[in-house]
Amino acid sequence: MQRCMRQLLTTRTAQLTRCLSTPAIVANMPPCDFVPAKYTGMSNEQMSKIRAENINPAYALLYKNPIYFQQGHMQYLYDTDGNRYLDLIAGIATVSVGHCHPKVNEVLKRQMDRLWHTSNIYYHPAIHEYAEKLVAKFPDPLKVVFFTNSGSEANDLGLFMARLYTGCMDTIVLRGAYHGASPTTMGMTALSSWYYNYPSATSIHKIRNADPYGGIWGGKACRDSLIQPDRDCSCQPGKCEASERYLEEVNDVLTFCSPENKMGLFAHESIQGNAGVMQFPKGYIKEAYAAVRAKGGVCLADEVQTGFGRTGEHFWGFQGNDAVPDIVSMAKGIGNGFPLAAVITTKEIASVMRRSRHFNTFGGNPLACTVGSAVLDVIEEEKLQENAQEVGSFILLELAKLRDEFEIVGDVRGKGLMLGLELVADKKTRKALPTEDFLNIVEDLKDMRILTGLGGHRNNVIRVKPPMCITKADGEYAVACFKKAFQNHLDRKASRV
């Protein structure tokens, strides 16, 4: 009886401590002069009912107690009660320059009064102005653009062009990849949580992921990041043995699983997003490109999450891999939340689309192209790539201190404002933190007005991909909240003993 009473008292004390400390942390959120409009729309209860009865059940919610958002401003979101949240996930790396950025809003409103839609069978200025501006961001020979509406469409088109151009269906993707959820791109995706029992992976070879933290090979000298895995390896400066070992599987597929002297496509994310911000060993992508091209194949870099300056050091993620692809797909941050995506390739590969008619009704429409052009302007004018590098590096280094402090933080990784924290039950075995514990931590962060994402094939990675206008003060606040959430976890764990 005494033991039960002690456990109950400990539990209640921990709960009380959490209730008392959370408002104090929230009060320390960096100030913001923006005042959201008073919400007068549908009630939260009505929204919940419609969600349950009329909206596709695949739209899963992250939190036990959902949030009802009604307005956004730069790096912040506001719920229907006017509470402010620091958005560290940005619609899954989508809001690149800030929610409702004033310049982007202004040009969109102006274009709406001028021309919404015609068709690509006519000329209109917006698509040509934007195409010229966008391709200028790419090295030769990547100078031809196709506009679509989503990343799934972009990757679908990239795969289609690669197969037509090479005359070979065989495609290599990496386990852990997420390239879309359409019937075709699902075949390129290799995360079981996103995979339906549906025939979609014709001639697609899903090879071992080159993961320096969770894979068979890799360690302290393998990753292009300020923070390396806390794991020993035998790699030497300028020579990554882990990369060489993972490349053996690429060569095996080229040798045994494709026609003689022929290969179709090698597709990869420059940093895997849904897999939990997974970075490849140094040199891996560059050497994989060389091997694929030697057999007549082409290479596609999926920049849906890494593009437009998010990695800080470079404008495109593939530049961090020191390799120029043949095809690049992009979406999300390209339109700051507006439906817009694109595929950029060479004139030679693009020419295969003349073999028949190809059309995308809304791809490259005046509204989307006007928004895309404004996003490029804002990234440059407000030096958001540089901000991603500076603030992202600060946050990464501060989070690394939490890895040293807390046993549950197994790995901290990423570049710029594309970061991940892998939470584990044991650092030596790298066993994933139980899902309930992980979700409790994410819920604690939400209660402290911090919005994060979930990733990793074991659903144990906190993803940090905020709007690139985030400030150092925001970063300081976020790190303090992470520390408090991890401490709350330890208090709950102690109360169960």
Rounded Cα–Cα distance for residues 482 and 95 (Å): 22
Q: Quote the pLDDT of residue 307.
A: 98
Q: Quote the pLDDT of residue 23.
A: 64
Q: Is the pLDDT of residue 171 over 80?
A: yes
Could you check whether the bond before residue 141 is cis, i.e. omega within 30 degrees of 0?
yes
Pick the CATH number of 104-381 from 3.20.20.70, 1.10.1270.20, 3.40.640.10, 3.30.70.1060: 3.40.640.10
Confidence label for 197 from pLDDT (cuts 50, 70 and 90): confident
The mean pLDDT of 125-140, rounded to a whole number, is 97
Q: Domains of the chain: which residue ranges? A: 17-87+384-495, 104-381
Rounded Cα–Cα distance for residues 274 and 291 (Å): 26
The mean pLDDT of 130-143, rounded to a whole number, is 98
Q: Quote the pLDDT of residue 296.
A: 97
Q: Is the pLDDT of residue 407 over 90?
A: yes
The mean pLDDT of 146-168, rounded to a whole number, is 97
The mean pLDDT of 163-167, rounded to a whole number, is 97
Q: Quote the pLDDT of residue 194.
A: 86
pLDDT tens-digit series, residues 380-391 = 999 999 999 999
Q: Would you tell me how many other CB atoms lie within 10 Å of the CB of residue 495?
A: 17
Dihedral angle sign, alpha carbons of residues 81, 84, 88, 89: positive
Confidence label for 22 from pLDDT (cuts 50, 70 and 90): low
The mean pLDDT of 197-202, rounded to a whole number, is 87
The mean pLDDT of 352-358, rounded to a whole number, is 93
Paired tokens of 497 = 């003993």
Q: Is the pLDDT of residue 53 over 60?
A: yes
C-beta separation of 162 from 333 below 8 A? no
Please state, rounded to an integer, the average pLDDT across all residues of the chain.
93
Locus of tokens 């209109």? 124
The mean pLDDT of 207-226, rounded to a whole number, is 93
pLDDT tens-digit series, residues 10-21 = 444 444 444 445
What's the CATH class of domain 17-87+384-495? alpha beta
Locus of tokens 């320096």? 212
pLDDT tens-digit series, residues 284-340 = 999 999 999 999 999 999 999 999 999 999 999 999 999 999 999 999 999 999 999
